[in-house]
Amino acid sequence: MRLRAGFAVSAPAKINWLLRVGPKEPDGYHAIFSIVQQVSLFDRLLIGARRRGIEFSCRGLSVPAGRDNLVVRAAERLQREARIAEGATIRLTKRIPVGAGLGGGSSDAAAVALALNRLWKLGWSRRRLAEAVAPLGSDIALFFSSPLSVVEGTGGAVRPLRAPAGRNIRRPPNWLVIVYPNLFSSTAEAYRALDRLRRHRRASSRLPSLSPRFPLTPREREIIISRFLRRTRTSLRPLLGNDFEPVIYGAFPAVRGAARRLAQAGATGVLLSGSGSAVFGVFASVRSARAAAEAIQTAEPAWGVWVARPLRRVPPVRVV
């Protein structure tokens, strides 16, 4: 596909520092409370002008084509919402694996909306763009927010997480090693498995419950956020948590093995991201992170392994 001059944008992956999942509601959904961090593992999108229609191509990792792809659906939805007759060419370079809990598809959808906002000269705010494509997936909204956000409800309630006004809180310079053990994890099935495990534990008086009290009270939420903002390298580990770990580690021994390898490589904290199957480890220096990544990649050459950093700024849309 030949691409005329247009715009380029990087779509970051995300990790979940904390993910609490409430019980299944009557409407079939689960409320969550999560602290989400965008990181420096990117898909890349190039967007150019086209008279009519959306023309899409992808290189790198294999993804669905046409309207089965979230990027195309986001572009077409924005086109309808804005009543734009003009089309676009979209070239995706895919690095973030699918079914990994890293939010790659949702990030791509948000990134293409931001770029098309420039291409089509819509002048829409991030909030309006998020509202336009929100029906395509609850995770998309967080990629219109700041790099560090709190996500609540069914995923659409997103608020930036920043230090309180007047307080200069210096966060530790954490480095991350993200490991994808080449396994697809279905989010829908992860929720079903968590519900089954919780029912089983409730039915057995000899097993501890996996159902934390939910929802958290406003005071409990603010205490968690305050502790997280004031974290140090030594205080970060107790703040990490993911309610999906018991079911994903039980269903996929390789995911549990990836977490074990990160711990053995010296990570100060290890956690599943989202509903998996990627896990990440926290390291104090780039040297220790790179050494760990090299050791894991050598031992498991079929896995995806990346060194990344938490983002401090949202990637800009650039003219190309």
Instruction: Note the pLDDT tens digit of each residue in 54-104.
Output: 999 999 998 887 788 999 999 999 999 999 999 999 999 999 999 999 999
Same domain, 185 and 157: no
**Per the domain annotation, does 90 fall within a domain?**
yes
Give 79's contacts (C-beta < 8 A, 6+ positions apart).
54, 87, 116
**Per the domain annotation, does 191 fall within a domain?**
yes
Q: What is the pLDDT of residues 162-198, one digit of tens each?
A: 765 545 555 556 899 999 999 999 999 999 999 999 9
Total domains in the chain come to: 2
| Chain position carrying tokens 């079911």 | 247
User: d(Cα 123, Cα 8) in Å, to the nearest integer?
Assistant: 17
Same domain, 25 and 150: yes
Same domain, 149 and 260: no
Same domain, 182 and 237: yes
**Per the domain annotation, does 320 fall within a domain?**
no
Structure-token pair, residue 164? 């309180």
Same domain, 149 and 223: no
User: d(Cα 26, Cα 32) in Å, to the nearest integer?
Assistant: 15
Give 200's contacts (C-beta < 8 A, 6+ positions apart).
207
Question: What one-character-per-residue DSSP string does 92-120 give?
Answer: EEE-SPTTSSS-HHHHHHHHHHHHHHHHT
Q: 46 with 52: CB under 8 angstroms?
A: no
Coil/strand/helix, residue 209: coil
Exposure letters 201-233 (e unless 16+ CB within 10 A, then b): beeeeeeeebbeeeebeeeeeeebbeebbebee
Give 32's contacts (C-beta < 8 A, 6+ positions apart).
19, 20, 21, 22, 151, 152, 153, 154, 155
Same domain, 145 and 214: no
Same domain, 72 and 196: no
| CATH (domain of 225) | 3.30.70.890
Of residues 43, 94, 108, 139, which has the active-site annotation? 139
Query: Residue 217: which H helix or E strand, with range?
Result: none
Q: Which of 162, 190, 217 is the last residue of a domain?
A: 162
Whole-number pLDDT of residue 25: 86
Active site residue 139: yes
**Per the domain annotation, does 25 fall within a domain?**
yes
Q: What is the mean predicted confidence (pLDDT) over 270-282? A: 97
**Per the domain annotation, does 288 fall within a domain?**
yes
Same domain, 208 and 297: yes
Q: Which of 162, 191, 221 is the last residue of a domain?
A: 162
Q: Whole domain around residue 234: which residue ranges?
A: 175-308
Same domain, 11 and 140: yes
Same domain, 37 and 96: yes
Considering the chain, what is the average pLDDT of its residues?
90
Q: Which of 162, 197, 227 is the last residue of a domain?
A: 162
Whole-number pLDDT of residue 166: 45
Exposure letters 84-96 (e unless 16+ CB within 10 A, then b): eeebbbbbbbbbb
Active site residue 43: no
Give 100's contacts (C-beta < 8 A, 6+ positions apart).
180, 185, 273, 274, 276, 277, 278
The helix-helix angle for 104-119 and 70-82 (nearest 10°) equals: 40
Give 250's contacts (C-beta < 8 A, 6+ positions apart).
256
Same domain, 183 and 303: yes
Same domain, 298 and 193: yes
Share of the chain above pLDDT 90, in %: 74
**Per the domain annotation, does 313 fall within a domain?**
no
Of residues 14, 43, 94, 108, which has the active-site annotation? 14
Q: What is the mean predicted confidence (pLDDT) over 228-257? A: 90
Strand order in the sheet with 304-308: 269-272, 279-283, 175-180, 304-308
Whole-number pLDDT of residue 163: 63
Report whether pLDDT(258) > 90: yes
**Per the domain annotation, does 240 fall within a domain?**
yes
Structure-token pair, residue 18? 């904390």
Question: Quick one: how far is CA 120 from the chain centroid?
Answer: 27
State the Cα angle at 243 between 242 and 246, rounded to 5°: 105
Q: 279 with 264: CB under 8 angstroms?
A: no
Question: What one-character-per-residue DSSP string does 231-255 give?
Answer: --HHHHGGG-EETTHHHHHHH-HHH
**Per the domain annotation, does 167 fall within a domain?**
no
Predicted TM-score (pTM) of this structure? 0.92
